[in-house]
Amino acid sequence: MWTDVLGNGLTLRDGASLAGVQDFVEGFLASEARVANILQAQRDESPIVQAYCAALHMFAETGDAPAHARPFVERARAGAASVTAREQRFIEAVAAWVEGDLPRAIRLHEEQAREHPRDLASLKLGQYHLFNRGDSPGMLRLALQALPAAGEVPWLHGMLAFAWEQCHFLEQAEAAARRAIALRHKEPWAHHALAHVMLTQGRLAEGHAFLQDVSPTWTGLNSFMVTHNWWHQALFALELDRPEEVLALFDRRVWTEVREYSQDQINAVSLLARAELAGIDVGPRWQEVGDYLARRGHDHVLPFLDLQYLYGLARAGRQEAAQALMESIGRHALACSGDEAVVWQRVCVPAARGLLAHAQGDWKTTVEALGHALPRLVEIGGSHAQRDLFAQVHLDALVKAGHLAGAQNLLQPLVRAQPESKRLQRQAARLYAALELPSVATSLRWS
Q: Measured between alpha carbons, how far is residue 84 from residues 12, 112, 129 in Å?
A: 11, 12, 24
- Across the chain, mean pLDDT equals 96
The candidate with the shortest Cα–Cα distance to 191, out of 205, 203, 173, is 173
d(CA 273, CA 392): 10
* pTM assigned to the model: 0.96
Q: What is the pLDDT of residues 36-48, one digit of tens each?
A: 999 999 999 999 9
pLDDT value at 439 more than 90: no
d(CA 138, CA 94): 18
pLDDT value at 299 more than 60: yes
Q: Residue 38 in 3-state DSSP?
A: helix
Q: What is the pLDDT of residues 250-286, one digit of tens each?
A: 999 999 999 999 999 999 999 999 999 999 999 999 9
Q: What is the pLDDT of residues 56-75, one digit of tens each?
A: 999 999 999 999 999 999 99
**pLDDT average, residue stretch 226-233:** 98
Q: What single string gives the DSSP state of each residue in 339-387? A: HHHHIIIIIIHHHHHHHHHHHTT-HHHHHHHHHHHGGGGGGG---HHHH
d(CA 68, CA 166): 32
Backbone φ and ψ for 440, nearest 5 degrees, come out as: -70, -45
Give the side-chain half-sphere CA count within 13 A for 180. Answer: 27
Query: CB atoms < 10 A from the CB of 68, how many?
Result: 16
113 or 297: which carries more pLDDT confidence?
113
The candidate with the shortest Cα–Cα distance to 82, out of 3, 4, 18, 9, is 9
pLDDT > 70 in the chain, percent: 99
Residues in the chain: 447
Q: What single string gives the DSSP state of each residue in 238-257? A: HHTT-HHHHHHHIIIIISSS
The candidate with the shortest Cα–Cα distance to 279, out of 389, 396, 370, 366, is 396
pLDDT value at 447 more than 50: no
pLDDT at residue 298, rounded to an integer: 83
pLDDT value at 140 more than 90: yes
Domain range summary for the chain, segments of one domain joined by +: 1-150, 410-444
In this prediction, residue 445 has a pLDDT band, given cuts at 50, 70 and 90, of low
**Residues near 231 by Cβ (< 8 Å), separated by ≥ 6?**
249, 254, 267, 270, 271
**pLDDT average, residue stretch 346-368:** 98
pLDDT > 90 in the chain, percent: 96
Query: CB atoms < 10 A from the CB of 251, how many?
Result: 11
